Amino acid sequence: MGYQEIISKVIVETLAFTKPFIHMDRLIELGLVDITNNGGAWRTTFEKNYRVSVVYTTNRKPKHKNITCEDETKFESLEGSYTNLKKPEKGEVLGLFIWGRNITPKPRTIPNWIRERVCYKGVRCLICDEDREIECDHVDDDYPDIPHDQLQVSDFQALCQSCNKKKREANKRGIKYYRDIRDPGKSVIRLLFGLPSDFKFPLLAEERFSNVRFYRNPQLIREMHINHLRRIVYCQ
């Protein structure tokens, strides 16, 4: 079955993805999965081209592929709505929530001239102050597709490989605010002030609002903490 035939059937069956759940028996009936396969029958058709959540007849946790934060929120609101459905004739997959097509993002290359300006010799990670395995990171993980001649150095920052990975994974889960990330540069501040490792940082006034994004400007947040601690020290 070709891609166009598959997508046509999926759109009709899910009412253009507004009713995303399709029972496994119905998937087999539509010819969208191979009846001779077991639990992995859905993979061939859906794993790469669609955003799906797979639910099972057993206590096995649902499996998500390519889903967005919005898809995850929808799934959480519908979770449990399928528990009383009839078990399929074969396999342990109860069915699929098909949220939409998976749009593969274009490769996001960074021009060499920007890498050289951001990751210059001796630069340190803006989050943890480490100087090893430094990478040129997009400040905004959700940045639009901007032509190379319109990119600016300020769109990028130097992060170590470890912090960059944490930032990227956090962004996938919808975490944007630095207070949700473990140790946002605070280890560096502890060293600067000679603070004990279990020192509890006071809550900044700005932290009480949802407009402070650590990874958008980690250096700014670090300076806010340092200035706040300086005021405490000098006022004593």
Q: Supply 160's token pair.
A: 């170590």
CB crowding 41-67: b at 16 or more within 10 Å, else e: bbeebbeebbbbbbbbbeeeeeebbbb
Q: Where are the domains of the chain?
A: 3-101, 112-235
* Per-residue model confidence as pLDDT tens digits over 94-129: 889 999 988 765 666 788 999 999 999 888 887 777
Residue 52's pLDDT is 92
How large is the average pLDDT for residues 213-219? 53
Amino acid 209: pLDDT = 44
Mean pLDDT along residues 138-143 = 72
**Secondary structure of 9-72 in HEC code, one letter for each residue:** HHHHHCCCCCCCEEEHHHHHHCCCCCCCCCHHHHHHHHCCCEEEEEEECCCCCCEEECCCHHHH
Model pLDDT for residues 52-101, shown as the tens digit of each residue: 999 988 888 888 888 888 888 889 888 777 878 888 877 888 889 999 98
The identity of residue 229, as a single letter, is L
> Whole-angstrom Cα distance, residue 117 to residue 123?
10
Query: Among the residues of 90-160, which ranges form H helices?
Result: 112-118
* 159: enclosing H helix or E strand: strand 156-160
